[in-house]
Amino acid sequence: MPPGSSGPRRAGRSPLALIVIGVVIATMVAGFLALGVWQLERRAWKLDLIRQVDARIHAEPAPAPGPDQWPAITRDHDQYRRVTVTGVFDHDRETLTQAVTDLGPGFWVLTPLRTDEGVTVLINRGFVPADRRAPSGRPGGRLEGRQTVTGLLRLTEPHGGFLRANDPAVDRWRSRDVQAIAEHRGLTDAAHYFIDADATPNPGGLPVGGLTVVRFPNSHLIYALTWFGLALLTASGGVYLIRDSRRSRPSRDQG
């Protein structure tokens, strides 16, 4: 043992081991950086989507798409478009779907509207509390005759909601599944979308429209910073590990 030494020094790793460690660390850093860049790209896409949707919501209403346009409707380009449609409500075939809103829990009232073009569009007329779910509890809201509805175009919600599936057999709906509701109600010519009615008051105060929540989670910057932070920590740890191992290598030649 050399004079003044307090004890044996740890033997360093072999050059081959250092190379393997370096490759592993470099691969991890590259992976973390790639994930961070991907999250920044997702953030740019999300911000652009938010701008597009905001423009759709505040645009002048356009006629609701007809049957010849249904195949071209997409979530990215048509969701939350402001549209208008005219027709006659079929209140006898309304459907209640479970809802949780700022007004509390209750139901959305989806009523078929037979349009002037001869097709049917499901209209989400708005929210009713559970104790007013029966049509007899809101007779004033039954609009008769030709009506014009303005609202936001929404795409079908086919997988249920609230962690539970729809149950058409007992007429229990947890999401606005257009195809399933149309089939259950015998609507053979229903549009492939539904419309959330705007806040125009209904007689009697129910249903309450205009409660559409437009919210896009946007945590991509936080995720990106997390990945970049992991890349920095991994690189720093790798540099320290390799330097420490190289400093300890001479101890193998000391007796």
What is the rounded CA–CA span in Å between residue 217 and residue 47?
A: 10
Burial of 154 (0-12, 13-18, 19+ CB in 10 A): buried
What is the rounded CA–CA span in Å between residue 21 and residue 241?
A: 9
Predicted local distance difference test score (pLDDT) of residue 253: 47
In 3-state terms, what secondary structure has residue 209?
A: coil
- Domain ranges in the chain are 10-62+219-255, 81-205
pTM: 0.74
What is the rounded CA–CA span in Å between residue 229 and residue 76?
A: 32
Q: If you compute the radius of gyration of the chain from its CA atoms, what whole number of angstroms results?
A: 30
- Judge contact between 102 and 173, C-beta under 8 A: no
What is the rounded CA–CA span in Å between residue 17 and residue 246?
A: 11
Mean pLDDT in order along the chain per 10 residues (255 residues): 52 69 89 92 81 84 94 91 96 95 94 94 96 90 94 91 86 94 94 95 93 83 92 88 68 48
DSSP code per residue over 151-175: EEEEE--TT-BTTB--BGGGTBBSS
Predicted local distance difference test score (pLDDT) of residue 246: 67
Predicted local distance difference test score (pLDDT) of residue 238: 83
Q: Are strands 95-101 and 82-89 parallel, antiparallel or unpaired?
A: unpaired
Predicted local distance difference test score (pLDDT) of residue 255: 46
DSSP code per residue over 56-95: HHTSPPEEPP-GGGGGG--HHHHTT-EEEEEEEE-GGG-E
